[in-house]
């Protein structure tokens, strides 16, 4: 009689202990914890400030053009008299939204693509990885711009375009990990007891990739922030009167005599990017204590 | 060596062909044609335009003709500047366009690579010194913070506030105009090179054959330059392949920041005017450069690592 896998609980029994120890290692890393806290606070500010501010982000005020930071406009105003602080945070909202959404799509595609290629192996693997190699040959900013030009310049599309070509690294990493997991005893045991390939991938391979994926996710979000910001420099992505950090920096770069227009969005972006870098570092150390 | 090089070049031809095919069909199978958005054209004018751009032909003929053009080094005709050859726009005689981007990338490479290697080696040899810490910290900072943030900030500090350097523009490509863009690019890439070199040299110095060389009583200089240098450089070389594509794109972004008349402007114009032929040309040109550079890196790798030779 063939034993069906569902009769057994194949989850690794020590899984809980592993994540608990990861968390305790992470919580001891002050730099990473502070960074995580900063990211949460910034995200909350982006969510809250535009709601509770008395000034709308697109409210132009011809009497208050290019004001330096003062008690009423903490970050100053721009060339249309709009309050920069509200714009920074609403722009942050868009930036975070694009980055997280794109990172999610990147992880989803990358994980499945890499896990399938690595698990099935053989010819399928060769072909799938060859496709990745080919896509690697295209300078991806140009490819991104090509896609946006083709499909129109909307925010949703720009993030799809970003995500569609950023999963390559992820798929390579996941494939490598999958190859090593594939030959572990528990996978072979599942295979012998008749579990389907798809189920092995979703139940055993992908959960065991989680460590790598989490670290990579913490690196992907800032990458997406940068890429969407770079696109703003080419006049693509988010359009006025809506804004993003990239657009604000591009705007600030054109109005240098008003230093606050550049300094505030650039500062917010630097803080965010560094926080993600330290968080990713901390996560890597916590997940893989050599 | 020659055989390896030839083989490497032959292998990359299908990759390039696949990229060209992908880009071509992506552009041509997307619904709508580039003249849709133009002010209403008379049917005759539209017809002659379609003929000029071969859009009246069946797709496979267009594809083969496009390939034929590319083989002859012809990127086709711009759809924005009607009738203008893209080659003239990309490679103008006045040294603008692609030449600006290429110059930026090459200057960056020439300075960033040796600088990164030297700083990394020094840091690795003096582990935990203040310089070492500086290398590690600058790697974290400049990997996280991109040129599109450091660029405008450097303009704000050195051009607008201190008036030391021009804020942007090409001038005649003179030193003052090139200085900030190149420095910004170098800062973006050499910390990574330094960091990799540092890690590599620490590993190599801990290896058994270096210990053996030390035990034999070889002078430090000889150990470093005879035994340690090759294996130290290998990870650095393999870093350079992907990095070049990054520098090329980074140069284009930097051009946007410093308003230099390179590929960046052409890309922006092409994107806003839906000049498909131009974007295709730039994408394919970028791919060709990336592939060529990867071949060079592979050859360098082979020269340095005798294990790869069969």
Q: For A144-182, what is each residue's pLDDT tens digit?
A: 888 888 877 777 777 777 887 788 888 988 898 888 888
* Residue B161: per-residue pLDDT: 79
Collect all residues with Cβ–Cβ distance below 8 Å to B310 and sequence separation of at least 6. Answer: none
Give the span between the Cα atoms of A227 and A221, in whole angstroms: 10
What confidence tens digit (pLDDT) does each residue in B126-178 have?
Answer: 888 999 999 989 998 998 888 888 888 888 888 877 878 777 777 776 777 88
User: pLDDT band at residue B185, thresholds of 50, 70 and 90?
Assistant: very high
The Cα-based distances of B49 to A148, B36, B52, B85 in angstroms read: 24, 12, 5, 15
pLDDT of A13 above 70 = no
Contacts of B295 (CB under 8 A, 6+ apart): B5, B8, B9, B12
> Does A173 contact B at CB distance below 8 Å?
no
A182 token code pair: 């594939």
Binned at pLDDT 50, 70 and 90, residue B111 comes out as: very high
Sequence-distant (6+) residues with CB within 8 A of A117 are A124, A125, A128, A129, A171, A175, A178
For residues B232-247, average pLDDT: 83
Say whether pLDDT at B49 is over 70.
Answer: yes
Would you state the pLDDT for residue A1?
45
Q: How far apart are CA A245 and CA A257, in angstroms?
A: 19
User: What is the arithmetic mean of pLDDT over B250-266?
Assistant: 86
Cα atoms found within 13 Å of the Cα of residue A139, Cβ hemisphere only: 33
State the helix-helix crossing angle for B98-125 and B130-144, rounded to 10 degrees.
Answer: 150
Of A85, A3, A92, A104, the residue nearest A42 (C-alpha): A92
* Rounded average pLDDT over B108-123: 92
Q: Residue B80 burial by CB count (10 A; 0-12/13-18/19+): exposed, middle or buried?
A: middle
Residue A54 has a pLDDT of: 75
Average pLDDT over residues A109-120: 89
Tell me the C-alpha to C-alpha distance, in Å, between residue A224 and each of A148, B80, B146: 15, 30, 12
Q: pLDDT tens digit string along A242-287?
A: 888 888 888 888 887 788 888 899 999 999 999 999 998 888 888 8
User: Cβ contacts (< 8 Å) between A266 and chain B: which residues?
Assistant: 149, 152-153
Mean per-residue pLDDT over chain B, rounded: 83
Using CB atoms within 10 A of its CB, is residue B57 exposed (0-12), middle (13-18) or buried (19+)?
Answer: middle
CA distances from A75 to A38, A48, A70, A242 (A): 19, 17, 7, 18
Residues 6+ apart with CB under 8 A from B82: B49
Partner residue opposite B148 with nearest CB, options A142, A151, A233: A233
Angle (CA) A141-A147-A148 rounded to 5° is 90
- Cα angle for residues A47, A48, A53 (degrees, 5° grid): 130
Q: Is the pLDDT of residue A58 over 50?
A: yes
Whose CA is closest to B142, among B246, B237, B287, B255? B246
What average pLDDT does this structure show over A130-154? 82
| Minimum-distance CB partner of A233 among B256, B276, B286 | B256
- Comparing CB atoms, the residue among A229, A235, A253 nearest residue B271 is A235
* Residues in chain B, total: 310
CA A172 from centre of chain: 17
Minimum Cα–Cα distance from A218: chain B residue: B144
Please indicate whether, in this complex, the C-beta atoms of B27 and A150 are within 8 angstroms of each other: yes
Question: Does any CB of chain B come closer than 8 Å to the CB of residue A31?
Answer: no
pLDDT of res. A276:
92
ipTM of the complex: 0.81
- pTM attached to this predicted model: 0.83
Least CB-CB distance to A141: which of B141, B152, B249? B249
Interchain CB distance below 8 Å, B146 and A226:
yes
The pLDDT value recorded for residue B39 is 61
Contacts of B148 in chain A (CB under 8 A): 226, 229-230, 233, 246, 249
Cβ-based contacts of A147 with chain B (< 8 Å): 26
User: In the prediction, which pLDDT does B190 show?
Assistant: 92
- pLDDT of B36 reads 62
Q: Do B152 and A145 count as a contact with CB atoms less than 8 A apart?
A: no
Alpha carbon distance B276, B266 (integer Å): 12
Is the Cβ–Cβ distance between A27 and A266 less than 8 Å? no
pLDDT band for position A289 (cuts 50, 70, 90): low
Cβ atoms of residues B124 and B198 within 8 Å: yes
Query: How far is the alpha carbon of B221 from chain A, nearest alpha carbon, in Å?
Result: 33
- Give residue B119's pLDDT: 93
Q: Any idea how long chain A is? A: 290
**Chain A, 34-63: which have a CB under 8 Å from a chain B CB?**
none
Percent of chain A scored above 70 by pLDDT?
Answer: 93
pLDDT of residue B131: 92
Across A224-233, B101-110, B163-172, least confident range: B163-172
Write down the pLDDT at residue B74.
Answer: 80
Quick check: B291 and A257 CB within 8 A?
A: no
Q: Do A142 and B249 touch (CB under 8 A)?
A: yes
Ordered DSSP codes for chain A: -PPPGGGS--S-TTHHHHHHHHHHHHHH-HHHHHHHHHHHHHHHHHHHHHHH-SS-TT---GGGTTPPS-SSSTT-B-TT--BHHHHHHHHHHHHHHHHHHHHHHHHHHHHHHHHHHHHH-HHHHHHHHHHHHHHHTS-HHHHHHHHHHHH-S-HHHHHHHHHHTT-HHHHHHHHHHHHHHHTSHHHHHHHHTT--HHHHIIIIIHHHHHHHHHHHHHHHHHHHHHHHHHHHHTT-SS-TTS--HHHHHHHHHH-TTSHHHHHHHHHHHHHHHHHHHHHHHHHHHHH---
A136 confidence band (pLDDT: 50, 70, 90): confident
pLDDT at A11 over 60: no
Please give the structure tokens belonging to residue A284. Answer: 């890597």
Matching residue, tokens 């590319």:
B70
Chain B CB within 8 Å of residue A247 CB: no
Contact assignment for B274 to A236 by CB distance below 8 Å: no
Give the tens place of pLDDT for each residue, B13-31.
Answer: 888 999 999 888 888 887 7
CB B299 within 8 A of CB B8: yes
CA distances from B105 to A66, B89, B108, B245, B247 (A): 36, 19, 5, 10, 6
Does residue B134 contact residue B187 with C-beta atoms inside 8 Å?
A: no
Tell the burial category of B230 from Cβ atoms under 10 Å away from its Cβ (0-12, 13-18, 19+).
middle
Q: Please, which residues bridge with residue A167 across strands? A: none
- At residue A41, the pLDDT reads 93
What residues contact residue B266 under an 8 Å CB cut-off, 6+ apart? B89, B90, B97, B278, B282
């Amino acid at each position: 009689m063939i034993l069906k896998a569902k009769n057994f609980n194949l989850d690794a029994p020590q899984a809980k202990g592993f994540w608990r120890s990861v968390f305790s290692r992470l919580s001891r890393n002050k730099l990473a914890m502070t960074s995580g806290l900063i990211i949460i606070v910034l995200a909350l500010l982006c969510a809250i400030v535009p709601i509770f501010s008395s000034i709308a982000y697109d409210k132009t005020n011809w009497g208050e053009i290019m004001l330096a930071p003062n008690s009423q406009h903490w970050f100053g105003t721009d060339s249309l008299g709009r309050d920069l602080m509200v714009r920074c945070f609403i722009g942050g909202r868009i930036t975070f939204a694009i980055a997280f959404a794109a990172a999610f799509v990147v992880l989803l595609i990358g994980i499945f693509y890499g896990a399938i290629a690595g698990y099935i192996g053989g010819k399928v693997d060769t072909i799938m990885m060859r496709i990745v190699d080919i896509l690697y040959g295209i300078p991806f900013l140009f490819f991104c711009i090509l896609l946006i030009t083709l499909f129109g310049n909307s925010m949703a599309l720009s993030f799809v375009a970003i995500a569609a070509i950023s999963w390559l690294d992820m798929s390579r990493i996941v494939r490598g990990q999958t190859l090593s997991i594939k030959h572990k005893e528990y996978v072979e045991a599942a295979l012998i007891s008749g579990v389907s390939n798809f189920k092995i991938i979703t139940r055993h391979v992908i959960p065991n990739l989680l460590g790598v994926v989490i670290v990579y996710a913490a690196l992907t979000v800032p990458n997406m922030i940068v890429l969407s910001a770079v696109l703003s420099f080419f006049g693509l992505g988010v359009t006025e009167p809506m804004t993003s950090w990239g657009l604000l920096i591009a705007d600030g770069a054109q109005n240098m005599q008003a230093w606050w227009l550049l300094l505030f969005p650039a500062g917010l972006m630097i803080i965010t990017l560094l926080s993600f870098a330290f968080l990713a570092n901390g996560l890597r150390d916590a997940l893989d204590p050599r | 060596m020659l055989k390896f090089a030839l083989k490497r070049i032959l292998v990359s031809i299908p990759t390039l062909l696949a990229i060209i095919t992908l880009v071509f069909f992506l552009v041509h199978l997307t619904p709508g044609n580039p003249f849709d958005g133009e002010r209403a054209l008379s049917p005759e004018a539209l017809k002659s335009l379609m003929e000029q751009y071969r859009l009246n032909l069946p797709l496979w003929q267009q594809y083969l003709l496009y390939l034929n053009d590319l083989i002859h080094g012809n990127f086709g005709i711009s759809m924005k500047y009607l009738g203008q050859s893209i080659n003239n726009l990309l490679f103008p005689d006045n040294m603008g366009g692609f030449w600006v981007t290429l110059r930026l990338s090459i200057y960056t490479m020439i300075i960033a690579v040796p600088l990164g290697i030297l700083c990394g080696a020094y840091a690795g040899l003096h582990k935990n010194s203040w310089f070492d810490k500086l290398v590690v910290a600058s790697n974290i900072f400049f990997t996280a913070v991109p040129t599109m943030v450091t660029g405008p900030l450097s303009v704000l500090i050195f051009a607008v506030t201190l008036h030391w350097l021009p804020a942007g523009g090409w001038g005649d490509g003179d030193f003052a105009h090139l200085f900030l863009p190149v420095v910004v690019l170098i800062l973006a890439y050499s910390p990574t090179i330094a960091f990799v070199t540092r890690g590599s040299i620490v590993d190599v110095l801990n290896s058994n054959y270096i210990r053996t060389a030390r035990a034999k009583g070889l002078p430090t200089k000889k150990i470093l330059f005879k035994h340690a240098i090759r294996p130290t450089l290998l990870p650095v070389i393999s870093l350079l392949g992907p990095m070049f594509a990054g520098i090329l794109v980074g140069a284009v972004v930097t051009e946007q920041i410093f308003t230099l008349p390179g590929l960046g402007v052409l890309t922006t114009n092409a994107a806003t005017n839906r000049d498909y032929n131009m974007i295709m040309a730039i994408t394919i040109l970028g791919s060709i450069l990336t592939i060529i550079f990867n071949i060079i890196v592979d050859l360098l790798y082979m020269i340095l690592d005798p294990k790869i030779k069969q």
